[in-house]
Amino acid sequence: MNARTLIIATLIALGLSSGMLYLGSNLKIGSAPTDEEAQHEFRRTAIDKLNLSRASLALDDLQLDEELQKWLDGRLIIVTGEHSTVDPKTLLDELPDSVSTLSSAAVRTVVAKGTEGIMKQLDFWSDGFDPDASLVAMRLFEADRGRVGCVLIAADRAPQFSISLLNDGVTEFYNVCRHCNEPHLGNLAKVDLALAVGCPHCGRTYDLLAADMLGRYRRANAYLEGSRPPPGVGADAEDRLGEMVALWTAVVEHCRYAKDLSGLSGEKDSWQRPSETYSFRNGDCEDTALLLADWLISRGFNARVAIGNAVGEGGHAWCVVELEGRQYILETTLAKTSKVPPETQLVASRYRPHYLFDRQSLYFLDGQLGDIADYFSPDLWDALAYQNSPVPDDGLGDDTAIPLAGSTVEP
């Protein structure tokens, strides 16, 4: 199971010799389970006893995990051979995706002469579990020679991902893929300042995070904060194309290209907000592309920021606009602009977009394609809406929970 810690417990066998215990839905039933009423009563009593022991150590109470218990109840149990045991790794590896949000799990098994004998061993069990474990599931089974066995799983569940938790230093999360709806775990350490986030099940990307100059993460489209150009820029343009070019030229002339400003984060590739870029009068490719896109959107243009690769540039960011049936690439790292920016089909071999975003959505390529000339087709780009409200100076943008992966992009 991806990203799950398997805590392989020492197994306990008490009393006379007994058979090997196997768990697996593909096996035939070899011994009848105890009735459900007895199962329920045993679980209630056992959890109370475990929590009494934990209270003396100032540990939080264990809770029965209904989802994990339902899965464990569905396992078939067979007893054969000479020793009563269960392979914890085999058991944990069988955990389905529906309970794969567990960040750690440990297994204990015991066989004794009756449930009273099992109950006497609970204090010993609790000593061997991770004190951070907060969830349990347990199942009685009938062993040989009239004895009773029990399988107990103690586990902990990762929190659902949020940007706030990431910025607070939490690195292990779970979430549900917005493409395939499968839950999964992920480790997202703050080691890269631009992170493309996707699903390990379907392999599709569906979020983009970037760190600001203080090292705090925001969703990419949260950087489009709603900044507006000076009122006079493009005011005397004859048409919308002229207004677009005037805005493009104003950004290029106002902002000196700088490889990066490390800021207080002490790292490269941090992203600046458009207001910061305008104030600093410099920035790298994504900083100036963000500024231009924000200005264009504020003036009513259908504009997006593109993140990908460009020939001779490697990782790169640029701005694209759809206007009157044509699509234009607005490169913000130029020394001088042209009267008309190039249309996307003319430079498709030079620019390879991976991700797009505007104020409302992030866009990801649907499948592997060659040269991309259309930046606005819903047939090529999957749109995932992430509400983007105005970001205060100390805010982090929309904190919607997202899926996880491990791929990164460094524009």
Asked whether residue 197 falls in the same domain as residue 48, the answer is no
Asked whether residue 376 falls in the same domain as residue 234, the answer is yes
Specify the pLDDT at position 13: 27
Q: Which of 369, 381, 327, 404 is nearest to 159 (CA)?
A: 404
Answer yes or no: is 397 within a domain. Answer: no
Digit-coded pLDDT (tens) for 289-335: 999 999 999 999 999 999 999 988 788 999 999 999 999 999 999 99
The CATH number given to whatever domain includes residue 304 is 3.10.620
Answer yes or no: is 167 within a domain. Answer: no
Answer yes or no: is 23 within a domain. Answer: yes
Asked whether residue 212 falls in the same domain as residue 63, the answer is no
Digit-coded pLDDT (tens) for 161-207: 889 998 998 888 888 788 888 888 887 766 666 788 888 888 888 88
Answer yes or no: is 56 within a domain. Answer: yes
Asked whether residue 142 falls in the same domain as residue 242, the answer is no
Answer yes or no: is 94 within a domain. Answer: yes
Question: pTM surpassing 0.85?
Answer: no
Letter string b/e over residues 355-368, b meaning 16 or more CB atoms within 10 A of that residue's CB? bbbbbebbbbbeee
> What CA–CA distances, in Å, run from 276 to 56, 219, 272?
54, 17, 6
Q: Which domain holds residue 145?
A: 5-157
Low-confidence ranges of the chain (pLDDT < 50): 1-32, 79-85, 261-267, 390-411
Answer yes or no: is 401 within a domain. Answer: no
The CATH number given to whatever domain includes residue 41 is 3.40.33.10
User: Which stretches of 255-335 are DSSP H helices?
Assistant: 274-280, 285-298
Asked whether residue 149 falls in the same domain as residue 209, the answer is no
User: Which stretches of 232-284 are DSSP H helices?
Assistant: 240-254, 274-280
In the chain, the number of structural domains is 2
**Of all residues in the chain, what percent carry a pLDDT higher than 70?**
75
* End-of-domain residue from the set 157, 180, 202: 157
* End-of-domain residue from the set 157, 189, 209: 157
Contact (CB, 8 A) for 105 and 92: yes
Specify the pLDDT at position 326: 98
Contacts 24+ apart (CB under 8 A), 324-327: 324/240, 324/241, 327/373, 327/374, 327/375, 327/376
Answer yes or no: is 409 within a domain. Answer: no
